[in-house]
Structures are given as C-alpha cells and as structure tokens.
Amino acid sequence: MRLLLNNVHYCVLDTSAILQRFQPTDQNAQYLIDVLYQNTKIELYIPYVCFSEVIQQFYNAHKKSQLTSTPMSITERSGLINRLRQDVKDGKLNPYPTEASLFARTEEIFNQSFTITARNRVIDMADMLVIATGLELNSLSSSAEETYIFSSDCHLFDVATALGIKCFNPRLVTVDQMPECFDRRMFKRNPVSLHAICKDCNTGDVYGSTRIIDICEYGICIEQPKKNINIGDRINFSISPGGSWKDADTRIGVAVRSENDRVGVLLEEPLSLN
C-alpha cells in the first residue's frame, strides 16, 4: 500500500492527457496539463500500462510523419521517450503499480462500462486500470475530493464519473472552472513594476526586455516583448529587483497564456515574495 500525503490532490492521467505534454494537439489541454505539472500540491499518477501506450503513440507519430513534408527523426522520437523517462526520474510523474487490489475492481468497472451505453461497449484494459487507479487512490485518501482523473476519452470519463470519481476533460475544461488549488498563479498575486530580459532556453535567442506586471510564488505576468513569446515557449528570465542587473534573479518558465499584449508564465522554481 502506498503512503499518501496530506493536503495534496491526486490526479490520474490517461494516455490522451499525458500526450498533451509531449505532443500537444489542443492549446487549452496543453496549458491545463502544464498547470498540473507545475503545482507542488498535486501528485500525478499514470498506470504502468499507459507508459507503453504513450511510447506506442510516439512510434505511430514517427511512422505517419514520414509521409509528410516534416518527417519526425529517430532522434526526435528518442527525445520524447527520454523526456517521459525523465519526468518519472524527477518525480513529476508517478507510475502506479499494477497491484492485485486494482484487478479486484475489474468486475465493478466492466459492469459499469457494459451498462452505461446502449451499444454495450466494454472498456479496454488500459482505461480500466486508469479508473482502478483512481478508485484505489480515492479509497486510500481521507477525502473523495482529493482524487481526480484527466481524460479526453468519453467512455472512460462516463464510467469513472458513474463510479464516483471526479473527472476533467482537458480539452473542454479551463483552469478557472476547476478548484482554485489547481492554478498556482491564483495565489498571492502582487502588482509590481519590475524589468526583465527574456531569452529562449532552447536557442538562446533574445526576445528583448519587458516589464513584469504582477507576480505570485510560481507565476508572473509580463508585457509582450519586442519579439513575441508564443505559448509553449520555454524562457529564461533575468529579473532586475531595482534596475540593477548585477543582482538580477534568474528564473525559467513556460508561457501558458497570451492575451492583450500580456503573457502568463508558469515558473519552474518559486519566487521569493518577501
């Protein structure tokens, strides 16, 4: 039995949800999964079987891309797999073991799946284990509201909901429609007027200088610099506390929203608000 922490929300991701981190197909879903990854009050879980499904999707994408004008290279495919492994190594993504207690829930889940649709579709093994993991975490935690499943699979969503697990479709729900604890940028946002220089973490290209409008522990809102920052860009910030670059504070973050010449950025390490 896994020892769970207090005051932490447990989120189970299926293959469709985790792929939004590595091969995003929907801007809102990508932002939502990024928010989950960056929140230290959330523990992310994925059944072991879903790792194989995710890697299979990387191979499928590689194969399909060979017929397009922008084929994926073997190096790019390997890079995606290595990023997935690194997430596990860094503790950002927790593989949930396929224990006997999960399979003990098989009949309950299959019965619900069979009766929930007129066409009597039976849920597949991977989706069954996603729901079983959610039920298992729910039974081990002190509150039913502490466990959530994220999936874009409608049948999985309906079966899990019928069994009492709260579910979110990352393609359809926005952060402001979820419990406030899911978005760290909503905490202690302080208006400021600081200056920063932004660089692309991957290429080293300089976006230019900008002004920080407000901050919280894990996020900043900035004015769009001369070279536009796009959603998904990973940025290195040198933040000047008082016009002096000698004492600049360096942070790395990912752009997650862009609106009205302002960019919202989730930071990988917290800022001191003192």
CATH number of 186-267: 2.40.10.220
Residue closest to 35 by CA, chosen among 253, 215, 222, 192: 253
Average pLDDT over residues 235-251: 73
pLDDT exceeds cutoff 60 at 190: yes
CATH number of 9-182: 3.40.50.1010
Residue 144: predicted pLDDT: 42
Contact 132, 106 (CB under 8 A): yes
Average pLDDT over residues 21-38: 86
Higher pLDDT, 257 or 43: 43
Average pLDDT over residues 117-132: 82
What is the Cβ-side half-sphere exposure of residue 177, based on CA atoms within 13 angstroms?
A: 10
Average pLDDT over residues 256-268: 79
Higher pLDDT, 123 or 217: 123
Average pLDDT over residues 150-169: 93
Higher pLDDT, 241 or 159: 159
Average pLDDT, the chain: 82
Higher pLDDT, 98 or 244: 98
DSSP secondary structure code for residue 270 in this structure: P
Residue 98: predicted pLDDT: 76
What's the CA gap between 35 and 93, in Å, rounded?
13
Average pLDDT over residues 78-82: 94
Residue 147 burial class via C-beta count within 10 angstroms: exposed 0-12, middle 13-18, buried 19 and up: buried
Residue 27: predicted pLDDT: 80
- 58 band by pLDDT with thresholds 50, 70 and 90: very high
Residue 141: predicted pLDDT: 58
Q: In b/e form, how buried is each residue of 39-70, taking b as 16+ CB within 10 angstroms?
A: beebbbbbbebbbebbbebbeebbeeeeeeee
pLDDT exceeds cutoff 50 at 4: no
Report for 71-80, 169-178, 222-231: range of highest mean pLDDT? 71-80
Residue 77 burial class via C-beta count within 10 angstroms: exposed 0-12, middle 13-18, buried 19 and up: middle
Query: What are the tokens at 213?
Result: 């409008």
Residue 1: predicted pLDDT: 37
Query: What are the tokens at 137?
Result: 């975490």
- 193 band by pLDDT with thresholds 50, 70 and 90: confident
pLDDT exceeds cutoff 80 at 74: yes
Residue 254: predicted pLDDT: 83
Residue for token pair 């005051």: 7
What's the CA gap between 24 and 34, in Å, rounded?
11
Please indicate whether the domains covering 9-182 and 186-267 agree at the CATH topology level. Answer: no
Report for 93-107, 124-138, 165-179: range of highest mean pLDDT? 124-138
Residue 157: predicted pLDDT: 93
Q: Domain segments of the chain: what residues? A: 9-182, 186-267
Average pLDDT over residues 127-139: 91
Say how many C-beta atoms besides its own lie within 10 A of residue 23's C-beta: 14
- Give residues with Cβ within 8 angstroms of 147, minimum separation 6: 9, 10, 11, 12, 134, 137, 138, 141, 165, 166
